[in-house]
Amino acid sequence: MALQLNHFYPSTSKHGKQPKPPLTSTRPRPTKFQVKAASTNGRELIQSGAVRPIPPKEAAMAMSSEGFILLDIRPDWERDKARVAGSLHVPLFVKDMDNSPLTLLKKWVHFGYIGLWTGQNFTTLNPDFLQQVEAEVPDKDAKLLVACGEGLRSIMAASKLYAGGFKNLGWLAGGFNRSAVSDFPAVEGSEKLQYATIGGVSYFFLQLLILLQAVGKDD
Which residues are known to be catalytic?
A: 148
| Alpha-helical runs (H) found in the chain | 34-48, 56-66, 76-81, 101-110, 116-118, 129-136, 152-163, 200-218
CA distances from 37 to 42, 92, 119, 160, 161 (A): 9, 16, 26, 12, 15
3-state class (DSSP) for residue 70: strand
In whole angstroms, what is the distance from residue 195 CA to residue 127 CA? 27
Contact between 126 and 148 (Cβ < 8 Å): no
Task: Please choose, from the candidates 87, 81, 86, the residue with its C-alpha nearest in 3D space to the C-alpha of residue 189.
Answer: 81
Contact between 170 and 66 (Cβ < 8 Å): no
